[in-house]
Amino acid sequence: MQVCFVLLLSVCECGALAEKDMEPITEDKGVLVLTKSNFEWALMQHNQLLVQFYAPLSGESLGSILEFAKVATDLKETTSSVNLGQVDVSKEKDLAKELNVTSVPSLRLYLSGDKYNPVNCPALKTSTSILTWLRRREGQSADLITDLSQLESFVAEDDVVVLGLFKDVDKGVVKVFYDVAADVADLPFVVTGSKEIFSKYNITDESVVLLRKSKIAEQFEITSQTIKEDVIHFIRMYEMSLVTEYNGKTSGKILNSLLQNHMVLFIDKTEKGFRQIYRTFKSTAKQFRGVVLFVLIDTGEPRNGRIMEYFHVRREDAPLVRMVNLTDSFQYQLPSDQLDAQTLTDFCQSYLQGKAKPKLQSEPIPDGWDKQPVKELVGMNFERVAFNPDKNVLVLFYAPWCPESQMLFILWEELAEHYSDSGDVVVSRIDITANDVHIRMTDRYPTIKLFPAVYDERVVSYSGQKKLEPIVEFVSVERVRAQKDKAKEEVERKKYLDQQKSIAKEEL
């Protein structure tokens, strides 16, 4: 008995010491600030902990941080037992690595203190959708309706409604529908077994239907073989109209669409020929439904200035059509000023067959671009400078409107000063929003890359700290490697030239 008491006392003392050594958990606008040293303690304290992983300088994270703060405010007015926490992955890299956080911003729901088996939250952009997701997890995920009047009231409130038609709304294949509704929190879900509603839409089989203004947009029949992912794919593929206008409400859906090929029409909706061009664009969209997403950007809308800047489109350039591939960000411009159905169809088919040529553009080469310590590159002089086999060229790829890019300009001046007496290192920068380059860009801006002094067109990405000393060390290592590799290249080039000379002599 005494031994048990001693063991119990020892455990309690260890727990007390652990709690004492634990970093206190502070709050910011109702959200717990989590770190590597207090993360497990937070899990122990809260049975349901929804954690946001973010990087403060990321454009996407900024919006998500604000929305997450709204969730914290709104949760106080509910009976939910969920608590909120945030992890700044730029500061908590070890914790992010331990938890295998590979994308930001992202949300995870930790249950009962389980650190390694969280529930991954879908990519939800708004506080409303996050709250809906939490509510649907805890209760009924779809609203049950029993007659047409109830359905009509739902349809009147939203642009798109997901309707589940099931003969039994309590068991069987309807469970898949409820699971889908729990995950797709940005759309309203209703379920019914009403024969009246089955009859209205002339449907006999159990189905999931997308309703747009009370009319069937698409139908998906559910069987015992259907899995949740099949239904989610169907919804995400067809939830948007044939042509979706880009705005604050639709931007998230467009950028997160399963369709990576986007046909974009830039046009001022107030101009005289808008209606005819729009009808033609929409009729073309019908042919490529489920393969290409058709998007309209109103160039007369002042709030679209940023997206037009991204595409390098001026208001006076419209109307014009571009095809954009979201996987590589390449743009393909319609090689014609004709916007008739045949021209648009041919362009789409040419792109899908891999025959279309990417559009490349460049600002004019600035006067005295190479006279300043930091060399100003544009599309037209980029390759000539970057792939110079006698220079190690350090390039900052930046976006002028990005605060993180602007923060690096002073550092770049310092780097240029550091290498001012160097004969083989060039410090340069390029506005990547206004100039296209022939290299694959998959990183967020600002991006730092080194083009070593070798004959091979090699590109080395830098991912370390954005400070003088680490970058100088990175360049030093790559300079040494480039010298060794170039020496080998020289030997190979000499062998090749000697072989060519030998062949020429034999032919004589």
Q: How far apart are CA 62 and CA 246, in angstroms?
A: 20
Does the bond joining 446 to the residue before it have cis omega, within 30 degrees of 0? Answer: yes
Q: How far apart are CA 90 and CA 56, in angstroms?
A: 8
Min mean pLDDT across 101-115, 165-179, 406-420 is at 101-115
pLDDT score of 386 more than 90: yes
Min mean pLDDT across 167-181, 184-198, 304-318, 416-430 is at 304-318
- 27: which residues sit within 8 A by CB, 6+ positions away? 33
Other beta carbons within 10 angstroms of residue 291's beta carbon come to 11
Question: What pLDDT, in 10s, does the model give residues 447-474?
Answer: 999 999 998 889 999 999 999 999 999 9
For 243-352, which CATH class?
A: alpha beta
Q: In this structure, are residues 402 and 351 in contact, taking their beta carbons and an 8 Å threshold?
A: no
Could you tell me how many residues make up the chain? 508
Q: Mean pLDDT over residues 226-231, rounded?
A: 94
pLDDT score of 263 more than 80: yes
Q: Mean pLDDT over residues 19-48, rounded?
A: 84
Domain assignments of the chain as residue spans, ordered by start? 19-136, 140-238, 243-352, 375-492
Share of the chain above pLDDT 70, in %: 92
CATH 3.40.30.10 assigned to domain 375-492? The reply is yes
pLDDT score of 354 more than 70: yes
Out of 3.40.50.2300, 1.10.3470.10, 3.40.30.10, 3.50.50.60, the CATH code matching 19-136 is: 3.40.30.10
Q: Is the dihedral of CA 182, 188, 189, 192 positive or negative?
A: positive
DSSP-derived pairing of the beta strands 48-54 and 26-28: unpaired
Q: What is the mean pLDDT of the chain?
A: 87
In this prediction the pTM is 0.57
The residues facing 62 across adjacent strands are none
Q: In this structure, are residues 116 and 80 in contact, taking their beta carbons and an 8 Å threshold?
A: no
Q: In this structure, are residues 32 and 17 in contact, taking their beta carbons and an 8 Å threshold?
A: no
Q: Mean pLDDT over residues 169-194, rounded?
A: 92
Share of the chain above pLDDT 90, in %: 51
Out of 3.30.390.50, 3.40.190.10, 3.40.30.10, 3.30.950.10, the CATH code matching 140-238 is: 3.40.30.10
> Are both 140-238 and 375-492 of the same fold?
yes
pLDDT score of 97 more than 50: yes
What are the helix (H) ranges across 102-227? 127-138, 148-157, 174-183, 195-200
Let me know if 144 is exposed, middle or buried by CB neighbors in 10 A (0-12, 13-18, 19+). middle
Q: How far apart are CA 142 and CA 161, in angstroms?
A: 11
Residue 248: the pLDDT is 82
Residue 11: the pLDDT is 41
Q: Mean pLDDT over residues 323-329, rounded?
A: 81
Residue 492: the pLDDT is 84
Min mean pLDDT across 51-60, 151-160, 233-242 is at 51-60
